[in-house]
Amino acid sequence: MDLRLRDTVVLVTGASRGLGAEIALALAGEGAHVVATARSKESLDDVAARGGGRVSVIEADMRDEASVAGLADEVVARHGRIDGLVNNAGIAPAGRFVDQDPAIWKDAMAVNVIAPMLLAQAAGRHMIAQGGGRIVNVASTTGVRGKPYLVGYSTSKGAVVRLTEALAAEWAAKNVQVNCVAPGAFRTDAQRAVLESPDLLERRVAKIPAGRMADPAELVPLACLLLSPLSSFTTGAIFVVDGGESGKL
Q: How far apart are the C-alpha atoms of 87 and 119, rounded to whole Å? A: 8
In a domain, residue 243? The reply is: no
What is residue 33's predicted lDDT score, i.e. its pLDDT? 98
* CATH assignment at residue 138: 3.40.50.720
Query: pLDDT at residue 27 above 80?
Result: yes
Q: Is the distance from CB of 27 to CB of 10 less than 8 angstroms?
A: yes
- The residues carrying an active-site annotation are 153
Q: What are phi and psi of 10, to 5 degrees?
A: -130, 130
In a domain, residue 17? The reply is: yes
Range of the domain at 121: 9-229
Query: pLDDT at residue 74 above 90?
Result: yes
pTM here is: 0.95
In a domain, residue 248? The reply is: no
Q: How far apart are the C-alpha atoms of 166 and 163, rounded to whole Å? A: 5
pLDDT digits (tens, 9 = 90+) for 79-114: 999 999 999 999 999 999 999 999 999 999 999 999
> How many domains, the chain?
1
Half-sphere exposure of 101 (CA within 13 A, CB side): 3
In a domain, residue 63? The reply is: yes
In a domain, residue 237? The reply is: no
In a domain, residue 33? The reply is: yes
What is residue 148's predicted lDDT score, i.e. its pLDDT? 92
